[in-house]
A and B are shown apart, each in its own frame.
Chain A
Amino acid sequence: MMKNRRHIKWGFLFFFLPVVLWLFLLIVLPHLELLRLSFTKANTGKFTLDNYLAFFNEPIYWLTFVRTAGYSIIVTFIVMVISLPVSFYISKIVKERISGALMILILVPFWVSELIRVYGWMILLRESGILNHFFVSIGLFKEPVEMLYNDITMIMGLVYTSMLFMVVPVIGVMDDLDNSLIEAAYDLGASKTAIWRTIIIPHCASGLVNGGIIVFMLVLGSYLTPNLMGGKNSLWFTEQIYNQIILYFNWNQGAAFGFLLLALSSLIIWVLLKLTKQNLKEVVK
């Protein structure tokens, strides 16, 4: 027995070492370094709070931060509102034969890279774009209108790029909803609104929260869509990070911004998980 216990478990180590190296070298230590740099001065390497103070003292920084957070919440909410009827249609209304095909149709566009999808919207919406060409030629517009580079277009783009991550989990829970519950409510004379309010939406809550966590995180951390579709005044916080690190080469300031973004996304995800009494394990399943 003793001999057996001292025997090194090579099989275990073979799996354990790569995973531990990966998680510590690429996740834990880099984030600790991010935290350390955010509290040090650029040239001297001494401890300082300046990088965080700069964030609070410069309105442009914290305003961007608040705007990014606010817009991310709005986008997440819009995505939820659109995803519910879409999932309901695919899961409950359309014939089962078609539902599988629709599901594939919904998934395919999201395999395409975000950049191409945003580029497609740019071709459609810009001043020399397809929609302007169309509207001018049918006489609806007198002259082309710039539809890109404003907040509404940017929000639409963010909704578009993150939609799938809500639709898939919501369809998942919608499929589990027993049709007879809806039938019973209907037979007992419940109105459509009552059925939605008391049966469908409560049942889908877990799917909505899971999707919401992923969508919120993706939107908060997105760079391409706000950068290419938003206007000069609609700076996203990831762009501030990019500017500090790539343009100004001020890594310590960039580290502080990065850490603030990480803290915000972790906080919101934590709150959502607590509110719905789940843990992260179930969400990523």
Chain B
Amino acid sequence: MIRSLPSSKRYRGGFTLFIVLYFIFLFAPLVVTMVLAFNDSMYPSLPWQGFTLDWFFGNGPEKYGIFHDQTNLRSLYTSFKVALAVMIVSTFLGTCAAFLFEQENFRFKNALYFLMIAPLVIPGVILGISILMFSNTIGLFIENHMNVYASFLGPGFPLVVLGQSSFISTIVALVVSARLKKFDHTLEEAAYNLGANKAEVLWFITLKYLRPSIIGGAAMAFLMSFENFNTTIFLVGSQATLPINMYMQVRDGSTPVINAISFLLILGTSIFAVINLSKGNKKIL
């Protein structure tokens, strides 16, 4: 049954087979996507036509590799900008929230805490449309009453950043809170006794202690923003982010350049995941 108990060969063998199949199920789509990035064919499918790096470095006239594909490069750049901004905003908001809920006491604290974790169980599509509608209403109001057209309230970069931050901040807050809970407050008292003021204690003692979790939370925020689709699709303007751009190509039929992008992203996220996991950060949400 379990490690310490004897079990029949058939039971053990059957169970192992099940797990092997499970892992094949888990990795088959990723492996296939990665391998086909190197197939010398116009379509992401078999038969194997020979090895090529054209889908990475090709510069026409037939095959434009990712490094010469202007549309995809531009969306990659947009995604980087968005992810960087979301990372900054949500790390700040999330860290503030962690301090607020772990160290302060005030009226309606529980209600506010409930509001903070709600975005985790609100479907991303709903967050997207409600923020779109709200900012549109404010934009109309400003236009009607002040005669200014507030373009930043329409779909586009600022709205995407705000929309993604609305729920990614919660994740950062949970990651930072988990570490702040274990903080030994006598360290702060010692610093006060030695003459430090509040800002100094915060900067030199508490934030220093929280640094691993803040960095971990920020990294996760970056990745989640980079991959987000459901919320972004409603808020994005003319500048598509990478997932949106890829989605349109996948939907309408694609060349293996999508496989090349996927190859790079899978490689990047796997390295990131292994580093993050080996540091004992098992939180996945």
Contacts and interface: CB of A to CB of B under 8 A. Distances in A.
A18 interface: yes
Interface string B254-285: 00001100100110011011100110001011
B129 A104 contact: no
A197 interface: no
Given A12-B106, A114-B229, A123-B33, A26 B166 contact: yes
B96 A30 contact: no
B131 A26 contact: yes
B146 interface: no
A276 interface: no
Chain A CB within 10 Å, residue with most, of B19, B92, B106: B19
Contacts of A31: 126, 130
Contact of B123 (A16, A183, A265): A265
A168 B285 CA distance: 10
A116 B36 contact: no
Is the contact region of chain B dominated by helix, strand, or loop, or is it mixed? Answer: helix
B30 A261 contact: no
Interface in B93-129: 93, 96-97, 99-100, 104, 106, 112-127, 129
Interface in A118-177: 118-124, 126, 128-130, 133-134, 160, 164-165, 168
Contacts of A75: none
B121 A269 contact: yes
Contact of A179 (B4, B22, B47, B233): B4
Given A31-B130, A93-B3, A112-B269, A238 B125 contact: yes
Given A119-B33, A121-B29, A258 B113 contact: no
A111 B273 contact: yes
Interface stretch (B49-57, B58-66, B184-192, B245-253): B245-253
A281 B117 CA distance: 8
Contacts of B284: 107, 110, 164-165, 168
A110 B18 CA distance: 20
Given A15-B100, A261-B126, A265-B123, A111 B45 contact: no
A25 to B, nearest CB: 8
B213 interface: no
B121 A111 contact: no
Given A27-B118, A85-B18, A22 B126 contact: no
Contact of B96 (A15, A92, A110): A15
Interface of B: 1-5, 12, 15, 18-19, 22-23, 25-30, 32-33, 36, 43-47, 92-93, 96-97, 99-100, 104, 106, 112-127, 129-134, 137, 162-163, 165-166, 169, 174, 198, 223, 226-227, 229-230, 233-234, 243, 246-247, 250-251, 258-259, 262, 265-266, 269-270, 272-274, 277-278, 282, 284-285
Given A107-B284, A117-B30, A134-B46, 4 more contacts: A16-B106, A89-B15, A108-B269, A266-B121
The 8 closest A-B pairs by CB, nearest first: A120-B29, A221-B123, A30-B130, A113-B227, A30-B134, A26-B166, A34-B130, A15-B100
Interface of A: 11-12, 14-16, 18-20, 22-23, 26-31, 33-34, 37, 82, 85-86, 89, 92-96, 103-124, 126, 128-130, 133-134, 160, 164-165, 168, 179, 182-183, 186, 192, 195, 213-214, 217, 220-224, 227-228, 238, 241-242, 245-246, 251, 254-255, 258, 261-262, 265-266, 269, 280-281, 284-285
